[in-house]
Structure formats: structure tokens, C-alpha cells
Amino acid sequence: MFDPQLIRKDFPILSREVNGKPLVYLDSAATSQKPRQVLDAEREYYEHQNANVHRGAHTLGDESTHLLDVAREKVQLFIVAPRKEEIIFVRNTTEAINLVAYSWGSGYLAKDDVVVTTVMEHHSNMVPWQSAAERRGAKVEVVGLTESGQIDMKDYRKKLELKPKLVAFAHVSNTLGTVNPVAEMTKLAHKAGALVLVDGAQAVPHMPVNVAALGCDFYVFSGHKMLGPMGVGVLWGRKELLEAMPPFLTGGGMIDEVYPDHATWAALPDKFEAGTPNVAGAVGFTSAIDYLEKLSMKDVWEHDRELVAYALQRLSTVPEVKILGIRDSEMRSGSVAFVYSGVHAHDVATILDSEGIAVRSGHHCTMPLHSSMGVAASVRASFSVYTTKDDIDALITALEKVKKVFNT
């Protein structure tokens, strides 16, 4: 039984106050809060197993190596990846995309090649491709959106005619909440001969994800947005692609043999995990996935359906609020961003903060998207498993204070 009131009891931070008011945390798309189970798992790791992995032959080292392996398998099964060694641990989604942009880019992106992204991308799925294109003399083509904030499939097909080498897009937009038709877009991209990288940072926390069914080639996401600790992210990639790609970071842990003048690389996943990994983070991440699985991702998704529909409905009753993105709650997930007429997003957020309500304000790392909508900044309320309708009610009530202060 999915009961957010019970779930909330597992999140110590939700009982704190901000500015004398109970915290209403509506910024889970930036980072989610962490349940006690995750915090305990990390602490217990440091208290009982802490040692470096793959080093020597002592018990703690073996146990740490095993725990990292358990985390990898946990992630593999969670996103239905065909092979465990296809799961590469990185710091976050940004690092995962940079890994592909550098490694695959240096191996396979040539002069005048094309990479396609969309205007709704987070900067982390745009700038790494711009940089890769600059290094390789390639070009980035950006797909536009329809008026309702969905990917313009006509424009997408047109960009695919340019025969791009790779297409990169979000599963769920971090600003508009739009859920993109990943399987369909992937099929079209493959037909055009392109590889597909999907930024799943805003999808994996909310819905069951099956990378095998999506059909994409790379799928990336962060642990910290799905109840896990900061500092652990995931790159999933097809084995044959990862094997053929040159390493990203080099040094300890990622080698097979080293000679004074050259080295050979370890097999997957080690080849892409240079240096001491974040084992404690991986242990916390395991616990976060356990937590989500216990809730059932199907129910997590249903909870998100309810919250998004409720937030859209309540916000649409505020005359000063203009909601960004599609109004059909079935087409979106995780968050609702809006503009408050006559009051800058930062001013709205500061007033909401005075009522204990945490929202994101600004461009949410989507400047091109905001420019394309003619909006300098917006306010975003975003949700997680512990978010309740009461939280959204509190937001609506606090928006009345914005009206009062600014006399709009």
C-alpha cells in the first residue's frame, strides 16, 4: 500500500522547519531527499566494511568489492540492462554524458559529422555535445518543440535526414516535464543510422524504466535524484559500443597492464572507472533502489500521475500563473514549472521560502528552452515519493502571499 504519509516518516529532513514553518520540499527534480535506510546504509558501510576495492587480499577489501558488485547488479536489474558489466558508475548524469561525448566522440565523431539534440535538453545534454563537436569539427543540430512543449517530430525527422552519428535527448524534460516517445524516436534514429543516448535523470526516479525495451544505445541517470546519495550516477551502454570506445579517464583501476611507455585497458566496467570509486555512495544507491522496489515503481508512477494532475489543476486556478508545457498530465512527469505574471521567479521563490516552501527558480539549466519560450526564468515545483497533495496545497496558499506582497 503506497502511503506518502508513512513514507514521509522515513525521511528525517522532512520534519525540520524552515523560517519557522514546516519544510515543504518541492525541489526533488534538483535532488531528492534521502530516507533513513539510505543514510544508515552509507554509515554502516563506513563503520564496518570501508576499504578500497580490487586491492590486495584482505577481508574488508573483498567485502567492499562485493558491495560495489552488488550495487552494479542492482542497477542492472532495475533498468533491465542485458549485462552487468554494461553498468558504469560515474559521479552523476553530467559526467556520464561527458564520458560518452569524450570517449565515443574522440573515437567516432569526425569532421562535418552531425550530432542531434533538442531545445528542451538540460545544459548537461547540450554543452558536452557542443564541446565534442568543436573538438572534432562536427556540428550540433537542435530539434525544436511544438507549442505545447513536445518534441516537434516533423523537425526531428528532418534533422535525421542529415544522417547524424548520434542523437541525444531527455526521457523526461526537467523543465516542461514532457515525457518523450523514446522508443519511437530511437527507432527513427536507428533507421537513419544514428546511435541514441537518452538522458534519464528525470525519468528513472518516477517510472519503471526498461532500457532493453526502449532500444536506445546509452542511458544515463543520477542516484541522488532517486533517493540515493549525491556522487553516484550511471552510464549504461551497449557492451559492444563500450568495448570499442577508448577510455575517458585513465590511471589506477582501469588498466590491464602498464609499461613505462604504454598501457592496456581493463575489461568492462573497470575500463571506464578510473580511480577509487564511490563505494559508500554505491551502497547507499543500492539501498535507495531497494526502497523504491519495495514501494513498487508501478505505484511510484501512479503517485506521480496523481501529483502532476493535482498540481496542474490547482495551479490553473491561480489567475497570475502561466503553466509551462503541455496541460495533459498523462503526457508529463515529475514537475510543473510556471511563470507568475508580473513577479520574477526569484522573487516568487524567496517569498515561498519565507513560508518554508522550497522550489527551484531560474532557468533550471535549460537556457535555450527558456529563450525559445520567451521566458527569462520560471518557478518549478517538483515531486517525489514523499510529496503529498498537502504540499501542493501549501504552495497554492503561499502564492497568495506573493500576490499580497506585490499587490498584483
Residues assigned a catalytic role = 365
Are residues 125 and 199 in contact, defined by beta-carbon separation less than 8 angstroms?
yes
The percent helix, strand, coil of the chain (3-state, each to 5) is 45, 20, 40
3-class state of residue 87 by DSSP = strand
Report CA dihedral (108, 199, 232, 96) to the nearest 10 degrees: 10
* Least CB distance to another protein at residue 362 (A): 5
Interacting residue with another protein among 34, 136, 271, 370 (CB under 8 A): 370
* Least CB distance to another protein at residue 361 (A): 8
Strands 321-323 and 335-340: antiparallel
Helices (H) and strands (E) in the chain, counts: 14, 17
Using CB under 8 A as the binding rule, whether residue 21 contacts another protein is answered as: no
Using CB under 8 A as the binding rule, whether residue 130 contacts another protein is answered as: no
Using CB under 8 A as the binding rule, whether residue 162 contacts another protein is answered as: no
Closer residue to another protein, CB minimum distance, 121 or 304: 121
Cα(61)–Cα(256) distance, integer angstroms: 19
Burial of 243 (C-beta count, 10 Å sphere; 0-12/13-18/19+): middle
Q: Where is 5: in which H helix or E strand? A: helix 4-8
Using CB under 8 A as the binding rule, whether residue 198 contacts another protein is answered as: no
Using CB under 8 A as the binding rule, whether residue 123 contacts another protein is answered as: no
Using CB under 8 A as the binding criterion, the count of chain residues that bind another protein stands at 20
For 96, other C-beta atoms within 10 Å of its C-beta total 31
Using CB under 8 A as the binding rule, whether residue 320 contacts another protein is answered as: no
Using CB under 8 A as the binding rule, whether residue 74 contacts another protein is answered as: no
Using CB under 8 A as the binding rule, whether residue 133 contacts another protein is answered as: no
DSSP label at 31?
A: -
* Least CB distance to another protein at residue 60 (A): 40
Closer residue to another protein, CB minimum distance, 67 or 377: 377
Are residues 337 and 324 in contact, defined by beta-carbon separation less than 8 angstroms?
yes
Segment 328-347, which members bind another protein (CB under 8 A)? 343-347
Segment 350-369, which members bind another protein (CB under 8 A)? 350-351, 353-354, 361-363, 367
Strands 357-358 and 24-25: parallel
* Least CB distance to another protein at residue 174 (A): 15
* Least CB distance to another protein at residue 221 (A): 24
Closer residue to another protein, CB minimum distance, 244 or 376: 376
Q: Which residues bind another protein (CB under 8 A)?
A: 343-347, 350-351, 353-354, 361-363, 367, 370, 376-377, 401, 405-407
